[in-house]
Amino acid sequence: MFENLQLDVRRNLQDYAPRGLLHRVALCLTLNSIHAVSLIRFQFWCAQHHIPTLFAAKLLFWFFKIEVSKAAFIGPGLRLPHPMGLIIAPGVRIGPDCDLYADVRLVLANGAKQGPQIGNHVFLGDGAKVVGNVSIGDHAVIGVSSVVTRDIPAHATAVGIPAKIINDQNDRASDNR
């Protein structure tokens, strides 16, 4: 938990360029993104240690309207710039260093058990939805309010409903930790 959380915190702080330890602590105490990722990691930690996850899940829902299944997997370096309204279903896999904006939904198709598989360094813009057992390749960008129903290759930018590729070689940085 702590290793992942450390990488999450580092990525969520990167926009604020903390100047020294005090500034870093102040940001950790005040930034919603850090509170939300901490609760998500706490929920996974409880699940791993066979402790009921209800408390963490309720806090996540009450404060942020976020629901993350304990049967999902989220790699380190999760960045949530506007942590609100996320839904992450069971069986979803999110690789390292992804950015999820407000109201992103990663959900199962009707009757399916396997959810979306998101690569690393993927950007999911405000309100993006990914439905069913689809893969989103590394460094892909999904635009605001887009609905992804098919696989998106690595380095592609996709927008619209259903999402269509508008750029197959975007310049999303390979590592912005």
Interacting residues toward ligand COA by CB under 6 A: 101, 125-126, 141, 143-146, 157, 159-160, 166-167
* 3-state SS class at 177: coil
CB of residue 127 to ligand COA, shortest distance in Å:
8
DSSP-derived secondary structure for 1-14: -HHHHHHHHHHHHG
**Which of these, 126, 121, 153, lies nearest to 137 by C-alpha position?**
153
114 closest CA partner among 78, 154, 71? 71
Q: What minimum distance in Å lies between the beta carbon of 138 and ligand COA?
A: 16
CB nearer to ligand COA: give 8 or 99: 99
Nearer to ligand COA, 68 or 128 (CB): 128
Separation of CA 85 from chain center: 11
- Whether 111 and 146 have beta carbons less than 8 Å apart is answered as no
Tokens, residue 66: 């976020």
- Minimum CB separation of residue 102 from ligand COA in Å reads 8
**Helix, strand, coil % over all residues of the chain, rounded to 5:** 30, 20, 50
CA separation, residue 110 to residues 13, 31, 114, 115 (Å): 37, 36, 11, 11
Whichever of 5 and 31 has its CB closer to ligand COA, that residue is 31
Which CB atom, from 76 or from 125, has the smaller least distance to ligand COA? 125
What's the closest the beta carbon of residue 67 comes to ligand COA, in angstroms?
A: 20
CB of 157 to ligand COA, least distance (A): 5
Q: Which is nearer to ligand COA, 96 or 125 (CB)?
A: 125
